[in-house]
Structure 1
Amino acid sequence: MPLVPLTEVLKDAQAKKYAVPGFNFHLYEDLVAIVEAAQEARSPVILMAAGTCMKHWGPTLAAALIKEVADSVDIPVVAHLDHASSLELIFKSIHAGFTSVMYDGSMLPVEENIANSKIVVKVARAFDVSVEAELGRVAKGEEGESAVEILTDPSDVVMFCEATDVDALAVAVGTVHGMQKQEAKIHLDLVDAISEVSPVPLVLHGSSGVSDNDLRYIATTGFSKINIGTRLKTVFTEGIREVLQNDPDLNDQLKLLKLAVPRVKDTVKEKIELLGSGNRA
């Protein structure tokens, strides 16, 4: 199935109160595992390339990999550039075929964040590409770098969305990027307050540290996209360790990766069920 923009999958999620998972991938093997799991669960899926993934593949190869895998299934698939602070990278990614981009201006003064987001929206609209932005700041950066948390003020949400015309908005409600345990202290009152006023679908970053109960609830509010990255990294590498422990003489890297990815598929299906996106495609 041809790739679709983010707005196409979030529209139904927003109306029917569930969330579409956005999964970070880094290799072809975990990319395929994510899509196969989503296909089996009949869930729309957002494939996200960010940070080290983009440094590894570059926008042209990353977009081509996503397109190739998406063409083999009949569920809606979004090719999403995640956490990009470089306008040059965003424009290259749009040209390469990404159908959604996130401009991350969360480290900038809000006025500069708004100005840059408007530029991205103007360019993206010409190519039917969706734009996500961030207001507030999630603790720690996507790659684990230091970042001071700034919780999103609900009173700023409408102003930001009207000023930028973005399609989706990531906000800070207590999550932390890179958490290995589900111990994040989520401000559910803030989740509710922002959901009530936001004119666009909301996005939760850093969900690997959020409890299942909180995720299940958040998926029924105004949060229509929930990002999952660290958890997939963890289960993939745990799978590799287990394979090598059971077969220390294994020296075939392709076989190694193939044996490790079932953990990724299982985790993807668990998250899909939790967020309510199964049987929505």
Structure 2
Amino acid sequence: MSLATLQQVLPPCLTNGTAVAGLVVLGWEDAMAYVRAAEALQRPVILQAGPGCRAHTPLPVMGAMFRTLAAAASVPVVAHLDHGEDAAVCQMAIDCGFTSVMYDGSALPLAENITRTAEIVTFAHRQGVSVEAELGYVGYYGGAHSLGTDPGEVALFVRETGVDALAVSVGNSHLMIRPDATVDLARVRAIQAVAPNVPLVLHGGSGIPAAQRQQLARETTICKFNIGTELRMAFGAALRAAIAQDPNCFDRNQLLRETIDPVSAAARTAIKGLAGI
């Protein structure tokens, strides 16, 4: 099909009981595996370049990679910047061909988060790019604690910023290696009640049990789940197995090729659950 934006793939999820997977990319093999998984299920997919990825691979390379995969894909593919630190990084991603950017001002005071987010929304929309923002702080497993999203701030935030999607903190955390998170469904309901037309996003999707991810997609306006850790774990297991199978193999391409099918299978499971199929 072609490149798509969040504004194109998320709004249908508000009413059809599904959600789209935002899959964290760290290299070519997993990005290719994700697109193959999405094509197998005929579902859109969001390829995400987060801070860890960007520290290893320059944005122009990631942008070209995502656009190359999208050009040959039979499903919509969103090229998404995850956790953009500031307006400059967001604009750089747009210049590199990304179709969607996430600005993370969640650690800032509300007024400053609104001001900075609105600035990014203005120039991104002018260039046909969608914007995700975060309100309430989503913490890290074994690190900074989450600060829940205040439903009382949501209506003001979405009205003043014009964001296309809103990441919220409702018990989810990044980098969870087990699905032990407890999502505060009452908070989710309160948030969607004041912003019913704004697709909500849950970061830290690997920490949420698959059955609950499917329930939330079906019953709420959470339209995007970011999933990374469980897929990195599938990659690591496949790579270790490939090395163990042939300890004498030194060919990087041969070893990495062995990760594609297992990672694609893990991605298919995640995407399928969110689609309710």
Offset at 1:277? 6.6
Letter of the structure 1 residue corresponding to residue 240 of structure 2: R
Aligned to 1:248: 247
Letter of the structure 1 residue corresponding to residue 211 of structure 2: N
Aligned to 1:110: 110
Offset at 1:2? 2.4
Give TM-score scaled by structure 2 length.
0.96
Letter of the structure 1 residue corresponding to residue 106 of structure 2: S
Provide the rounded CA distance (Å) in 2 between the counterparts of 1:68 and 1:82. Answer: 19
Provide the rounded CA distance (Å) in 1 between the counterparts of 2:71 and 2:276. Answer: 20
* Mapped contact 1:139–1:177 kept (Cα < 8 A): yes
Letter of the structure 1 residue corresponding to residue 261 of structure 2: P
Provide the rounded CA distance (Å) in 2 between the counterparts of 1:256 and 1:21. Answer: 27
Q: Compute the RMSD of aligned alpha carbons.
A: 1.3
Deviations 1:10-57 (A, max 9, x none): 121122121000001111111101001111110100000011211222
Letter of the structure 2 residue corresponding to residue 246 of structure 1: Q
Paired residues for 1:1-281 under 5 Å: 1-140=1-140, 146-198=143-195, 199-220=197-218, 221-276=220-275
Offset at 1:88? 1.1
Give TM-score scaled by structure 1 length.
0.94
Provide the rounded CA distance (Å) in 2 between the counterparts of 1:40 and 1:167. Answer: 27
Offset at 1:216? 1.1
Provide the rounded CA distance (Å) in 2 between the counterparts of 1:172 and 1:101. Answer: 19
Q: SS where residue 261 of structure 1 aligns?
A: helix
Offset at 1:145? 8.3
Letter of the structure 1 residue corresponding to residue 205 of structure 2: S
**Could you list the runs of 4 or more consecutive aligned residues of structure 1 that deviate by over 4 angstroms after TM superposition?**
none
Task: Mark the CA change 1:36 to 1:277 in structure 2 (over 3 Å): closer, same or farther.
Answer: farther
Task: Mark the CA change 1:115 to 1:277 in structure 2 (over 3 Å): closer, same or farther.
Answer: farther
Deviations 1:57-90 (A, max 9, x none): 2221111000111111121110000011122111
Letter of the structure 2 residue corresponding to residue 71 of structure 1: A
Deviations 1:146-197 (A, max 9, x none): 3231101112111110011111000000011001001112112212222222
| Structure 2: gaps spanning 5 or more residues | none
Q: SS where residue 57 of structure 2 aligns?
A: helix
* Mapped contact 2:2–2:72 kept (Cα < 8 A): no
Letter of the structure 2 residue corresponding to residue 98 of structure 1: F
Q: SS where residue 10 of structure 2 aligns?
A: helix
Provide the rounded CA distance (Å) in 1 between the counterparts of 2:142 and 2:100. Answer: 24
State how many pairs are aligned.
275
